[in-house]
Structure formats: structure tokens, C-alpha cells
Structure 1
Amino acid sequence: MIRQLFPISALLLGAAFLFFAGGINALILPVRGNMEGFSAFSLGLLGTGWAVGYVSACVVMPRFVSKVGHIRAFSVMAAFAAFAILSSLLVVSPFAWIPMRAVSGFCFAGAAMIVESWLGERADASSRGKIFGIYTMVTLAATTTGQMVLPLGDSAGFLFFVLGAMFYCLALVPTAVSSSASPNPLAKVSLDIKALWKNSPVAVFAVFMVGISNASFGTLAAVYADRIGLVLTSVALFTSIPILTGALVQVPVGHFSDKMDRRKVLLVIALTAIAVDLSFILIAPETELFNMILIGFFGASIFSMYPVIVAHANDHAAEGSFIQVSGGLLLVFGMGSIIGPLLSGVGMAHIGTAGLFMTSLGAHVLIVLYTIWRITRRAPVAEDEKVAYVSTPPARTSTPETAAMQVEDEG
């Protein structure tokens, strides 16, 4: 296995640099914005801007890369990502940060697609599944580490903006010095809502709601933690623990998902999320330990929904359409990600901190109600006709190339 990893070690290092910078970027903006007195609505718009840029890149990047090549395209993405985070340091205003966050989302998605395309090309068929698993672990660890470095310095200064820019630039090095030929063109996806809905209505509806919930939390979790009085170290833990618990439950969730109706698994997960939502709203925990326990359960639920939904949709999809279905659902998720931070920002501005989890609660309740109704309308897929469940990174950092890596593993 070490011999198989050696040829792609540079690419994995580049991915680690990219996601490390992304982790810093995602946390320093809401933390610093909250310190500067930005409204919850303005901070929510940061998440909306990110989602707009991210979804745009998933659609636009294949054509851009085909024109200028992988290395040049990656160089442009790294340069503009560094430019965006440094611009946010120079102009501390939501009017500047929101469009710059959209630029960051576009560049991050574009760069991730290129790295994933390169990894998929370099990994042979026998090791592709292991490579994808290692890549997932690298990105999760790098993102978490990027968030956890914030307590080590002064968030009111320039350190973390510069550090994020430095690691965006370092991510460029492995692709720039690679001697291998450029990989195949990037995976192209188009959004055909009618076809997706015909394939699986519950998948389209649920993934849109998960986009609302997950993007709301991803954007405003740090603001929530700060406003309930947690210190910066605890704020970083509050945003990192859910990612880790979400990764840990992938295996057991996948096991049950393959053995029973995936919609029922989705129901159980959504009901767990509702219980946590209500705990944050009604109990309003004050102790650090109680908050960390609850947010761990919250992450385990919200970050395990997406792969179950994708697997359910592919159970009903025609053979050979995995990328189209998974990529289309990713774009629907992105549409929800545009709306979610906006709703939770308004909620926190008018209701207070509970507004964040009230947005999630509404999304999760709707998932439960619609899924129950669909269970009564359509029989489950037979176990021997199901596709294999594949653990997936958080959808907010997945791209069409992530789906391409998965489907190639199945081949």
C-alpha cells in the first residue's frame, strides 16, 4: 500500500494544504466578523456567497480547465483564493467580505476538482477505493486542524488571514512540479430537476433541506458558540467535533443503509437531528461539556444524511448514471446551501442564538414528514438490487469529481 501511495503523496499533500487553508478561512471570517460587530444576517450572507461560488465552479470549471489546462487553472484558483482571504484582511466590511467569500467558494471548489481529478487518474483500479478513503481522511483531518489552529493566535490580527493565504499558495506546488501528464477532462454535470425528481423525489427534497441545514450550521456555528459565551478554543471544538462524529458514524450508518430501506435510515437520522435541535432550542445548554456532547450528536446526524440520500437516489437510477445523479444532487444541495445561511442569519438577528437551530429544525421536520409520505407511496428497493453505500466527505466540500472517483472505484 505504501508503494501505491508514494506516486500520489504529493497530490495528497496538496489536498491537505488546500483543505487546511479552507478550514482556517471558514472559521476566521465568522469569528473575526463577530468581533467586528457584523450582524448575524451579514454573517449568514457569507455562507450564501460561498455556496454561490462553490456551485458555480462545479458547473463552470470543466469548460475552463479544458481551455487552459489543469496546472494553469489550478494556479488561477490558488492565486484568487489567496487574493480573496487577504482582501478580507485589508477591507474589514461585510460589503467586501460577502463577494470575496463567493470568490473563495469558487476557487476552493475548482481547486478541489482538479486535485481529485488528478488523484483519480493516478490511482489504479485495484487501489482506487483505498485511495479515496485515504483522501477523505486527509481532507477531514486537514479541515479540522485548520480550524483548531485559531486558538493559538490572535484572531483580531492578521496572522490567520496570512496563514490561510500561504497554504492556498502551497497547495499549488504539487501540481506545478508534477511530471505526469494532465488527467482526463473534469466531470461535467447538469441540473435536470425533472429527471432527478422522477428518479427519486425524496432524494431531491431531502438533499435540498440538508443543504439548508448543513450550510446554516457550517456558516454560523462559530457565531452561535461565541454568543453563548464559549472561549475561542471551545468555539473551534464546537465547529470541529461535528465533522469528526459525522465521519465516525459513516460505517455503521452505511451498514444499516445497505440492509434496510434507506428512507427508514434517513428517518431515524432526521429524528435524531430533531431531538438535538429541540435540545438546543428548549434547554439552551450553558455548560461547555453539554454543548460539546449535543453538537457531537448533531454532527453525527447532519453529516450522515447526505451519503444515505445519494445512495438511495442511485438505487433507482439507470446503470451508468451515477455521476449525473450524484452531481445533480450536489447542485440541489448547493441551492439549499445558498438559502440556508440567509434564513438562519435572519433568525439569529431577530430571535437570537436559537434562530440557528430553528432553521435546522424546520428542515429536519420537513424531511421526516415528506419521507414518511413517500414510504407509503413507493415500495423499497430489494436488498440485492441496491448499489453499494459509499462514505462521502461532507457535501459542502464534495464536488462532481468526488462522485467520479467513487464510480470509478465501483468499476
Structure 2
Amino acid sequence: MRLTLLSFASLFISCFIMMLGNGLINILLPVRMGMDQLGTDTIGMVLSLYFVGMLLGGIYARLLIRRAGHIRMFAGCLALAAVSILICSLASDPILWAAMRILIGFCNACAYTAMESWLSESSTKETRGKVLAFYQVVTLVALFCGQFLINLASPAGTVLFVLSGILLCASIVPIVLSRSSGPTVEEIEPMSLLALYRISPLGVVSCFVSGWIYSAAFNMLPVFADSYGIIDFQLSLYMGAAIMGAFLLQFPVGYLSDRFDRRTVLLASLIISTLVGFSVTLLADESLFWPMSVATGITCGIIACTYPLSISETFDKLRQSEMVAGMGCLILAFSLGGIVGPYSTSLVMEQFGNSSLFWFLGVLQLLLCIFVVYRMFAREALPADQQEKFVMQAAAVPPVVDLDPRTEYQEPDSPLSAEAELAAAVADTDPAAAIRMAKAIAINSPEQVAEIAGAIAAIEGVDGLRLHEAMIEAVPDQASEITSAIVSANPELASDLVAQVADAEPEQVAEVAAQIGTDNPELRVEMAAAAIGADPESAVEVAEFYAGVLAEEHEAVRPADREEDTTEQTAVELVSSISELAPEQAMDVAVTMVEAIPDTASQVVEEYVGNLSETQSDEEIEELIKASDTINTPEEAVQERNQEAVEFVSRISEAVPEQAMDVAVAVVEAIPEVATQVAEEYAGNLSECQSDEAIEELIDTIDTINTPEEAVQELNQEAVEFVSRISEAVPEQAMDVAVAVVEAIPEVASELIDELNERSDSDEIDMMMKLEDRPDSDQ
């Protein structure tokens, strides 16, 4: 990780110097306008226009990057921002400053986009979260330090304007002198605000209000402080407290939001912020500077936290494929709030006095609280363990869309090596020569085998099968990498390539098929079939591999993505395909998949039992008798299949005990004649669960069971429910099933008699007569 951060050293240095200048500008402009006796509403209007520029910059930044490149666009925009702040030093004209404020906002937005897309493109899936965190720390520390630069000279002069321009120009130097040329960027298409509002009303509204109150608080705070005589170094401390609060409070708020209902955390935070904000004015009236600074840090810190909370709340409702587009829409909502914030607040402060800042912010937060409560009643809360993780976001800069670890990671296209480019160029004119060259390179440079194979296979006219054969012959120990690379270029060759591996390196077939299936999820079923077709003995091994892969993917599926999740369907298709190719291993395959993904139990059972039921047709029975040496009659064939069904119930129930009853009922519905055997097996398991050790374990695992008596009662109720469900499935065998259960668990006899008595008046007599055969019956 240290090496990753060091590779971004020039970018982080540029970012720090740039934000140092912006920190100075953010405090200098309102202070200077106040010294020039401009009205509060005029100050608010000028400061609001910064967000107009930010919004325009967010729209056009990527277009400028694609036209000019990261470095030139970054350098040009910061040079223009430096010119803008220097122009502000020429005349204290509100109209001139308003125009320059728009320009600075535009330039900053473009610079942020350049830095953030650069960080995103150069980070990996594992490091991007840490890179984002470090970037946010650099940003906030620089903003904090920038507040104190206002003490170097009088705001009434031009020195601080010149210093700001110098810092913005100086921030260009580290990036311009770096060796990197910067990555390319893709356009982000945001969804409409209305579409996002329909998905997450609270996310959009809270993001808009967040932009409103954040821009109002941090832009109008110097004006508020000035009305209480807080100037010079005290002003730097006061503004620094607000920025420090925005940094520090993200840690406890983020911790709480990941462990409790996020809306509850947002509601509680807003209430605390409002109450503490009201106290700021009271403390200011008493001239208590330090308590006032602490209170300001708390309320401004919570205000800053509403932004990342809004993003997390929205992400809870979005599919992962929608996150990038949704983030673009949230930036728009926040920017619109930022445009409204300073000006609307300045109007209130003009009307009621500068001391009304925190009263107005409190009213806005209370209005958001009302909407939060409304949404809490309108939609059920998402379980805390299924919520998206809170990610720190500095509201001072736009969120880093591609660097956010919650968004879907897109592997950047790595440039081809010189050897791969040469091989591709040769293949374009002489495919046969390219294959010979690839074979030679593979022998001399095995580490480049996969890249070269993929580059050549992507060229139209190249015989992929011939290329594959030649390269495997050259480096047989890399069959998996070679095959996967060629399949990525030509997916339609997958089965043929695996067949070639089976002929040349049969011991690698399972590994090759697994690698291809991992790299190309849409080919998993096909690859499993190809591997087992070449090596039937590998059926369970292939099933175990894919079960593990699918289980990880299924576990990682977010609630919003469940409608599009196909892992369960793929798992069932794999079980069906593998079982058809290796029927003697079908049960092991089914159990393996269900153990890995318990949610597939019902579908796998339905598929497996359906196949068992079909094997009891006359044609299948005749084929079974011919194929088996131990089965000679149709009755023996049926008995064999029934025993297999009972064993299947036992094994699946052991794998997923919480679904044991559903499995048993499904099997009995498909093969009614096994009802009694299944009942005996199921009741036997329940009886074993009533041992002292099993009851203690049950008490430890189930919160609603506290005593052995309650545990036994729970098990007995399960036995009665089991008989009831089996009786509904096969009513003609209800009596035999009940007797089998009572033989294992005598305590439930009276309840079962009552249950069956409701179905038929004669059932009680029949059952009692059957129970008379049990010498130990005391019921």
C-alpha cells in the first residue's frame, strides 16, 4: 500500500497545495466583502455562484480531459483559477467577483475530476478504498491549514490574493513534472433526478438539503463570526474547528450508520446538530469562544456527515450497475442545494441579523427530520448487516465516483507489451507466421504466453484452435492461462479448446474449465459439461469448485441486486448438467451445491427428485435392469430408487437442517411411496435432537428457546407440523406417517391423534390399533 501511495506522490502534493490555496480563498472572500461593507445578501449571492461553476465543471470536465488530456487540462484550469483570484484583487466589485467565483468553481471542478479519475484509473480493486481515504485526508488537512494563511497579511490589501494565485499556480508544478501521462476517461451518464427520487426519495432529498446547509454553513460562517468580533487568528481557529469537526465526526457517524438503521442515525444526528447549533448563538452572546468553537465543530461536522449519509442511503436502494449513474445524479442534487444555500441564508441573515445563521440551519435540519420520519413509516428498514458501508466523503469536493469501493470495479485495459503488439501486427498480415512467432516467444518468455495468445486470437482470420494447439505444445504447464486468454478473445471456441486440452493434457481439464468459467461466468455450465465429458471422474471436483465460486458471489449480492442475481439459477443448471453427464455422482454433486448455497435447496431438490421420479418409468426401469448386475426385477429397481430418495433426504437435511422439512415434503410429493421411510428418517433425527447435548446446543443457537422444556416442546411441535404437511401431500399415507413419528417420539401421540381426528372420525381408532403393536406404548 505504501508503494501505491508513493506512486501518487506528485498528485497528492499538487492536491495539497491546490486545496491550501482554496482554503485561503474560502475565508478571504467573505472577510474581504465584509470589510468592504457589502450587504450580507450580496455576499451570499457571490458565494452561491461558486456552486454554479462547480455544476458546469462537473458537466464538461470529462469532455475537456478527453480533448486535452489530464495534465494539460489540470494545468490550464488551475492557471485560469489563479488568474481569476488575481483579477479579484484589482477591484472590489460584486459583479466582477461573482463572475470570477463562477470561473473558480468551474476550474476547481475540472481539477477535481482530473485528479480523481487519475487516482481511480491507477488504483486496483484492493487499494482504491485506501487511496480514497488518503485523498480525503489530504484534502481536509489542506483546507484546515489554508484557514490560517489569512493571518499572513491584511485581507484589505492584495497580498493574500496574490498568495492564493501563487499557491494555485504552484500546485501545477508537481503534476506537470511527473512522468505519468494520465489515463483516459469515459463519460458518465447520470440518471434523471426524478428516476433516482423514485428509487430513493430520502437519498435525493437529504443530498439536496445537505448541499444547502453545508454551503450555507461553511460560506456564511466568517460573516457570522465577524458579527461577534471574531477576526484574524481567532477566525482561523474558529473556521478550523468547523473543518476539523467535518473530518473527525465522520468516524463515529460512519461507525453507527453501519451498525444501526441508517435513517435512525441520520435523524438522531440532525436533532443533535440542531440543538448544538442553537447553543452556538447563545454561547456567542456570552463571548465564550472555546465552547462556541467546539459547538460549531460538532454541528458543522454533523452537517458535513449528512452528505456521505445521503450517498450511502441512496446506494442501499440502487443496483450496483446503477451506482455510478446515481452518483452523478447526487452530485447534481448537492450542487443545486449548494447554489441555493449561501444566498437563501444570506437573505435570512440580512432580515434577522447575522446571528440567525444557526437558527436558520436548525429549521432546515428539523424540516429534513420530518421527512426522515415520514420515510421511516413509508418504507421498512433494510437490515443493518445488508446496508452499504459508509464511506468518508469530503463535501468540499465532488465525490470520487469510480474510486468509491462500493461501486462496481472496472478493470482498466492494460496496454499491450511490445512483443504482443508485434505478434498482433504480424497476425494481421500473416496469421501462420504469427502462430510460429508466438510459439517461439512462449518458449523463450513463458510469462508473456497468455498476453500474446490473447492478442493474436483477437485478430480476424487467425485459426484459434491451431494457435491453441501450438502454444500448449510449447508450454503445456500454462494450458489454463493460454486457453482462458484465447476464449476471452473467441468465446465460441471454448468447448473445442477444452476438448483439445483433454487430448493433450487430460489432467489439466478440470483446472482449465474452472479458469475459463471464472473469467467468463456465462460459460460456466458449458465448461463444467466439457470438463466432465472429458473426465467423468472429475464431476464432484468441478461441482465443488463452482459451488465455492457461486457461494462467494451469492453472499456478495446486495439486496438491490437480488432481482438480477442468477447465481441460484446457475447453480441449479450446473447440478442438472453435471448429474446428467455423471448420474452415479448426482447425489454428491447436489449435496455439494446445497451445502455451499443453502438457498438453492428447494430448486436442487425439485430437479433431483424430478429425475428420480422419471427413472421409475417402464422404459427407464428396463434400462436400469440391463445396466445393473444387482437389479433383476422392476420391483428391485423401484426399491433401489426409493432408497436413493430416502438417502437424498437424509443427506440434504444434514446439509441444511433448517430446510429439512421442505426437502422431505418435496420428495414425498414426487414419490409418494417413500412417505413412511422418509417419516421414519425425519422422526429419528428429531428424536436424536432431544438428547441432552443436542438440546443444550439448540438453546445456545435459538434466542427464543431458554430452557430444555421449551426445546423439547419446539421439537414436538415440529414433528406435528411435519405429519400435517406430509398428510396434506399424501393423505392416503397419513396414518402410516403418523405412526412412524409416534414410534420415534411417543410424546406427540395425543397431538397427532387430535390432528388426524379432524380429518376422519375413524383415524383415531385406526391409529390406536396400530400403536397396540408397540410393546412399550404408554399413550
What TM-score range do you get, normalising by the shorter chain? over 0.9
Query: How many angstroms apart in 1 are the aligned matches of 2:366 and 2:187?
Result: 34
Q: Is 1:370 aligned to 2:366, yes or no?
A: no
Q: How does 1:105-254 map to 2 (within 5 A)?
A: 105-185=105-185, 188-190=188-190, 192-254=192-254
Q: Which residue of 1 aligns with 2:350?
A: 349
Does the 8 Å CA contact 2:320/2:408 hold for their aligned counterparts? no
1:115: Cα distance to partner? 1.1
Worse-superposed segment, 329-338 or 286-295: 286-295
Q: In the alignment, is residue 405 of structure 1 matched against residue 403 of structure 2?
A: yes
Give the drift of 1:68.
Answer: 2.1
Q: Deviations over 1:225-254 (max 9, x none)?
A: 111111311112222212212211212211
Question: What displacement does 1:127 show?
Answer: 2.3
Give the equivalent residue in structure 1 for 2:104. 104
Conservation of the 8 A alpha-carbon contact between 2:70 and 2:182 = yes
1:295-323 superposed Cα distances (whole Å, 9 cap, x missing partner): 01112211111111110110010122222
Q: 1:369 to 1:117 in 2, by over 3 A?
A: same
Q: How does 1:234-313 map to 2 (within 5 A)?
A: 234-281=234-281, 284-285=284-285, 286-313=287-314
Deviates more, 1:188-197 or 1:338-347: 188-197
Q: How many residues align?
A: 408
* Closer/same/farther in 2, CA of residues 236 and 338 from structure 1, 3 Å limit: same
Contact 2:228 2:284 in 1 (8 A): no
Report the 3-state secondary structure (helix = DSSP H, G, I; strand = E; otherwise coil) of the residue aligned with 2:258. Answer: helix
Q: CA deviation at 1:290?
A: 2.5
The TM-score, its normalising length taken from structure 2, stands at: 0.51
Q: Distance in 2 between matches of 1:141 and 1:408?
A: 24
Over 3 Å counting, the alpha-carbon distance change for 1:21 and 1:195 in structure 2 is: same
**2: CA distance between counterparts of 1:44 and 1:374?**
32
Partner of 1:30: 30
Residue number in structure 2 paired with 1:318? 319
Distance 1:218 1:186 in 2: 32
The answer (yes or no) to whether the contact 1:213–1:359 under 8 Å persists in 2 is no
- Cα distance in 2, alignment partners of residues 408 and 70 from structure 1: 25
Unaligned runs of 5+ in 2: 410-779
* Residues 32 and 314 (structure 1), Cα distance of their counterparts in 2 relative to 1, 3 Å cut: same
Do residues 78 (structure 1) and 78 (structure 2) align? Answer: yes
| SS of residue matched to 1:49 | helix
Cα drift, residue 410 of structure 1? 6.7
**Which amino acid in 1 is paired with 2:254?**
G
* TM-score, with length taken from structure 1: 0.95
Q: Distance in 1 between matches of 2:337 and 2:102?
A: 15
Q: Equivalent pairs: percent with the same residue? A: 28
> How many angstroms apart in 2 are the aligned matches of 1:381 and 1:90?
55
CA shift for structure 1 position 343: 0.9
CA contact (8 A) 1:43 1:219 kept: no
Supply the distance in 1 between the matched residues of 2:384 and 2:331 (Cα, whole angstroms).
25
Q: Deviations over 1:105-140 (max 9, x none)?
A: 111111111011112222333322222111111111
Q: Does 1:331 align with 2:332?
A: yes
Using the TM superposition, give the Cα deviation of residue 223 of structure 1 relative to its aligned residue in structure 2, in angstroms: 1.1
Partner amino acid, structure 2, of 1:159? V
> Secondary structure of the equivalent of 2:401?
helix
| C-alpha distance in structure 1 between counterparts of 2:386 and 2:58, whole Å | 30
Flag as ranges the 4+ runs of structure 1 deviating above 3 A: 280-285, 407-411
CA distance 1:357–1:189, shift in 2 (3 Å): farther
In structure 2, how many angstroms separate the alpha carbons of the residues matched to 1:261 and 1:199? 18
Larger Cα Rg: Structure 1 or Structure 2?
2
What's the CA shift string for 1:171-219, capped at 9, x where partnerless? Answer: 2122322322321215525351111101111111111111111111121
**Does 1:87 pair with 2:87?**
yes
Distance in 1, Cα, partners of 2:228 & 2:119: 42
The Cα offsets for residues 78-104 of structure 1, whole Å up to 9 and x where unpaired, read as 121001100100021111111111111
How far apart, in 1, do the equivalents of 2:252 and 2:284 lie? Answer: 30
Match of 1:320, as an amino acid? S
CA contact (8 A) 1:144 1:243 kept: yes
Question: 318-327 or 94-103, which moves further after superposition?
Answer: 318-327
Cα pair distance change 1:365/1:189, threshold 3 Å = farther
Counterpart Cα distance in 1 of 2:265 and 2:373 = 11
Instruction: For residue 320 of structure 2, give the secondary structure of its aligned residue in structure 1.
Output: coil
2:381 is matched with: 380
Q: Answer 1 or 2: higher relative contact order, Cα 8 Å, separation at least 6.
A: 1
Moved more, 203-212 or 66-75: 66-75
Q: What is the deviation of 1:326? A: 2.0
Is 2:311–2:330's contact at 8 Å kept on the other side of the alignment? yes
Residues 162 and 189 of structure 1: is their aligned pair in 2 closer, same or farther, counting only changes over 3 Å?
A: farther
- For the 8 Å contact 1:191–1:331, the answer to whether it is kept is no
RMSD: 1.7
Quick one: distance in 1 between partners of 2:233 and 2:407?
A: 39
Give distance in 1, aligned partners of 2:17 and 2:187: 23
Any unmatched runs of 5+ in structure 1?
Answer: none
